[in-house]
Amino acid sequence: MQSSNGGARGGGDGPERSGELRAGRGAEYAEVPGEVRYEDPWHDALASGWGEPGTPGPPMAEVPAARREGQDGATAAAQVYLEVQRSAAFQEVRSRYRRFVGPAVAGFFLWYVGYVVAATSAPGFMARPVVGAVNVALLAGLGQFLSTFLLTWAYARHARLRRDRAALELRWDTQELTRGAGGGVS
């Protein structure tokens, strides 16, 4: 079996022994008795004193050339996302979302709190039989489950009818703009 750093793992005669793995490598793989070191780029970042003010942290590695070149594309892509966020289409999708979610959350919260308050402050009312052994409390409790399912259905329907198409068009436009800005993979 291969490890993530390309060396063999297992229990035996392969190059998984620490001396053989580190042979011919740089000073960062110096042998320390009793310590197991892997080729983990974040290993030194977890050393004590990292990130504390006044103490030197791990040495900062230079950004590879390939990453430096992609930085301009990433900056351009970030600008595209900021433009999209400020656009009227994005604001419309967000306002449609808020116009549904705000009242839905408020209504469901009031219904839930009403149930809890009625159960604690009016036990006589909640114990009133409706049909046989079924009382008001049982119906209201089952109503909590039913209202959760109805609210989920209403949310999915609202999203499908009022937001999904506009959000999908916005997504495609954003991807095209990002590709044009050089931030995406063509």
pLDDT tens readout for residues 137-149: 999 999 999 999 9
Confidence band of 110 (pLDDT split at 50, 70, 90): very high
Rg (alpha carbons) of the chain, rounded to whole number = 30
pTM: 0.53
Are 85 and 140 a contacting pair, CB within 8 Å?
Answer: no
pLDDT of residue 84: 84
Residue 96 has pLDDT above 50, yes or no: yes
Confidence band of 100 (pLDDT split at 50, 70, 90): very high
Mean per-residue pLDDT for 88-100? 91
Q: For residue 125, which of 135, 139, 110 has the smallest C-alpha distance?
A: 135
Mean per-residue pLDDT for 29-53? 52
Which tops the pLDDT comparison, 29 or 148? 148
Phi (first) and psi of residue 54, to 5 degrees: 85, -5
Task: Give first-to-last CA distance, the chain, whole Å.
Answer: 35
pLDDT of residue 175: 84
How many angstroms separate the CA atoms of 131 and 138, rounded?
11
pLDDT of residue 99: 94
How many angstroms separate the CA atoms of 171 and 169, rounded?
5
Residue 135 has pLDDT above 60, yes or no: yes
Task: Provide the 10 A C-beta neighbour count for residue 21.
Answer: 20
